Amino acid sequence: MNKTAIGHLTALATVTVWGVTFISTKVLLRSFSPVEILLIRFVMGYITLWIMAPHRFRLQDKKQEIYYALAGLTGVTLYYLLENIALLYTMASNVGVIISIAPFFTAILVMFGTKEKEKVHVTFFLGFVVALIGISLISFNGSKMQLNPLGDLLTIGAAFVWAVYSVILRKINRLGYGTLYNTRRIFMWGLFFMIPAVFALGFNPDWKKLAEPVNAINFVFLGVIACAICFVTWNYAAKILGAVKTNVYIYLDPVITVSVSAVVLKEKITPLIMAGMILTLAGLFLSEIRPEKTEKS
């Protein structure tokens, strides 16, 4: 199996896990606040990364630290805070659709905001439109979209900062350090920037509830697997495929969430949802293919 195929499989495996996180978070929200879930899961993730890579490493140039700080601020702190706060002001279906514009923002930033260009073909934008229609069908399932300016703008902000994170990650991947160490350092800065939000939004979890088997299992899943391991695999896939091609897999999040919900929560898959899943997969395929170059005779 070649390296590109491994990159695609790694990205697919990562979004498969991330698509399930919504269900775990939904369970934990019965006992914990969004910021409590966020901090606990990333602390667990950071500890896990130290266990996986227990050795310290020093940067060859101290100026490189700014990339890790910006990655932690955008990809960890701002992205998750903006997304969680947005859910307080707008419908989850709105968030599911709007957050899927992150690949589009990534493509624009890569095309016009970086010196190291990554080719973006017209099929990418066609696939984006098809996938967005599919995700809309899945998220709204026949109901009308209710706009909420504050919540929807926060979600757009979340999509944009994830795109910024993806571009910064391109730079970090070119520094020559291991993916595990890169991810651990990003988490460190993410937790650092999370501290002001914890004080502002309040952090007072019921530790007895944390010991309950259902909550403990879900925190282990979110912290160890979805945070620590999946951020490593995502960053590894981005290193191989590039920021744009990797981010396209974000389209699959609602497809996976709906599929798992049907199995675990016995939620019904309607014809509209099925059509949305097909369109989303078609959009993913279109975004990933490269048009054949025509040769002049």
| Amino acid 56: pLDDT | 85
| Amino acid 144: pLDDT | 59
Q: Are 48 and 229 in contact (CB under 8 A)?
A: yes
| Amino acid 100: pLDDT | 81
- Number of folded domains that form the chain: 1
| Amino acid 256: pLDDT | 81
Q: Is residue 134 part of a domain?
A: yes
- 214-256: pLDDT as tens digits: 999 999 999 999 999 999 999 999 999 988 889 888 888 878 8
Burial class from Cβ neighbours inside 10 Å (0-12, 13-18, 19+) for residue 54 reads: exposed
Phi, psi of 269, rounded to the nearest 5 degrees: -95, 110
| b/e map 70-108, b = 16+ CB within 10 Å | bbbbbbbbbbbbbbbbbbebbbebbbbbbbbbbbbbbbe
Whole-Å CA distances, 51 to 40, 174, 224, 258: 17, 24, 11, 33
- 113-150: pLDDT as tens digits: 666 556 677 888 888 889 888 888 877 766 655 666 78
3-state SS class at 117: coil
Q: Is residue 170 part of a domain?
A: yes
| Amino acid 230: pLDDT | 95
| Amino acid 294: pLDDT | 41
Q: Is residue 131 part of a domain?
A: yes
Q: Residue 267 and residue 281: Cα distance in Å, rounded? A: 21
Q: Is residue 295 part of a domain?
A: no
Q: Is residue 293 part of a domain?
A: no
**pLDDT tens, N- to C-terminus, the chain (297 residues):** 788 999 999 999 999 898 888 778 878 888 988 889 889 999 999 999 999 988 888 888 999 999 999 999 999 999 988 887 887 777 666 677 778 888 888 888 888 766 655 667 788 888 888 988 888 887 776 665 566 678 888 888 999 999 999 999 999 999 989 999 999 999 999 999 999 888 888 888 889 999 999 999 999 999 999 999 999 999 999 999 988 889 888 888 878 877 877 777 676 778 888 888 888 889 888 887 765 554 443
Give the DSSP letter string of 68-87.
HHHHIIIIIIIHHHHHHHHH
- Residue-range definition of the domain harbouring residue 266: 3-288
Q: Is residue 297 part of a domain?
A: no
